[in-house]
Structure 1
């Protein structure tokens, strides 16, 4: 008989085993050890054992759901009105027995008991308290379409897609994109500055991205003025065993509003690619909201190709 309970301190080895057996697709890191879960999940200052609910059969964990909360407007603390189902895994041998549905029901119950008035399934953007560095690649971006069981399950239990994220990669060993004349002019006027002591912009960034190795890049005028564009790159070393190559993720890509659509974003991405190629990086990855048409255009213009899609779900009113 399957029983459900909150997380116990002795659970991590079984949770890790279940993670590796679930067939989560290309976007899930593998060959992990308990330390990865400890650093990226259990040691988070807001981790609540009651938000990690396990399904147990004769002492063996056969499923779990991980729920948490988004951040407030200042990115300085949790906003308990924004509930997020970050992960849901059921062992292949125990699927289609109602375990996943019951785990979601209990996760919803937990989130509402803490004050959640809205619930999404699939950590993404600022609504990603967990799984940074473990699922999605550069960052969590909902449940991936390459995760074969996610979409059919959530649709079957009455959730609907509420947003999608395009996951782009650029092969640094492949054909280089053609350089346009106006980008050459930008390159002549700009220089790429790199910092490895980037100051976390807020508490929310520090608790999540701050646990990974990062470098900060700025496109700065040679005339000495302030940076006009910037991005942070994230090391994806936990994915090396899965992807069998060194991939770096781009996040927090920013261009000053008054100079957007003038090629500075493209120039920034090209300069970052040149610099990282010298470090034997083989691919770059960037996640772009489906609604951000400009960013998608920039990515495709400098040689990025879509390799996956992340979907965020919400329960249909019931």
Structure 2
């Protein structure tokens, strides 16, 4: 008989083993240690054992669900109105027995009891209290299509897709993007500045991306004016065993509003690629919302190609 309970401090080794056995697809880090779960999940200042519900049979954990909350508008604390189901995992030998369905039901009850007025499935963007650095690559972007069981499972529960993210990569060792002369002229006028002491813009960024290795890049005019474009790069070392190569993620990509459409975004992506290639990085990864056509056209123009899609779900029936 399956029993359900909240997280215990002795659970991490079994949770880690379950993570590795679940077949989560290309976007899940593997060969992890308990320390990775400790740093990126359990030691979060807002981690609540009641939000990590496990399914147990004969003393062994056979499934778990991890639920949490998004931030307030100031990004300075949690907002309990925004509930997120971040992960649902059941051991392959115990699937199709209703365990996953019951885990989600209990996670929904937990979120609603805490005050959630909206529940999404799939951590993404700011609504990603957990799994930064563990699932999705550069950042969580919902449940990935390469995670083959996610979509049919949530659809069977009455959830439907409400948003998607294109996941791009660029091979730094492959064919170089075509030369664009207007970008050559920009490059002569600009320089790439790098900082490893980037000040966290807010508490929410610090609790999640602040736990990973990051560098901040700015494309700055040689004449000394403010940056025209910037981005933060995130180390993805936890994915090396899975992908068998060194990949760096780009996030918080920004172009000064008054300067958009002039090539600064493309120049920034190209300059970051050149600099990281010298550090023996083999690929770059970038996540772009499906609705942001301008951004994904910029990415494709400088050699990025789509490798996956992340989907966020929301329940439409009960």
Normalising by structure 2, we get a TM-score of: 1.00
Partner of 2:112: 112
Partner of 1:11: 11
Q: Is the 8 A contact 2:159 2:317 kept in 1?
A: no
- 2: CA distance, partners of 1:260 / 1:88: 40
Partner of 1:21: 21
Deviations 1:133-181 (A, max 9, x none): 0000000010000001100100111110000000000000000001211
Deviations 1:251-303 (A, max 9, x none): 00000011111110000000000000000000000000000000000100000
Instruction: Give 3-state SS (helix, strand or coil) of 2:205's partner.
Output: helix
Instruction: Give 3-state SS (helix, strand or coil) of 1:276's partner.
Output: helix
- 2: CA distance, partners of 1:173 / 1:198: 28
Deviations 1:200-230 (A, max 9, x none): 0000000000000000000000001111100
- 1: CA distance, partners of 2:158 / 2:44: 31
- 2: CA distance, partners of 1:79 / 1:295: 29
Partner of 2:269: 269
RMSD value, Cα: 0.5
- 1: CA distance, partners of 2:274 / 2:153: 42
Partner of 2:137: 137
Normalising by structure 1, we get a TM-score of: 1.00
Partner of 1:176: 176
Partner of 2:219: 219
Post-superposition offset of 1:317: 3.6
Deviations 1:76-118 (A, max 9, x none): 0000000000000000001010000000000000000000000
- 1: CA distance, partners of 2:160 / 2:58: 34
- 2: CA distance, partners of 1:232 / 1:177: 22
Partner of 1:246: 246
Instruction: Give yes or no for the alignment of 1:259 onto 2:259.
Output: yes
- 2: CA distance, partners of 1:181 / 1:292: 25
Which 5+ residue runs of structure 2 have no aligned equivalent? Answer: none
Instruction: Give yes or no for the alignment of 1:150 onto 2:150.
Output: yes
Partner of 2:45: 45
Deviations 1:56-75 (A, max 9, x none): 00100000000000001110
Instruction: Give 3-state SS (helix, strand or coil) of 1:105's partner.
Output: helix
Partner of 1:33: 33
Which 5+ residue runs of structure 1 have no aligned equivalent? Answer: none
- 1: CA distance, partners of 2:29 / 2:223: 43
Instruction: Give 3-state SS (helix, strand or coil) of 1:267's partner.
Output: helix
Post-superposition offset of 1:45: 0.1
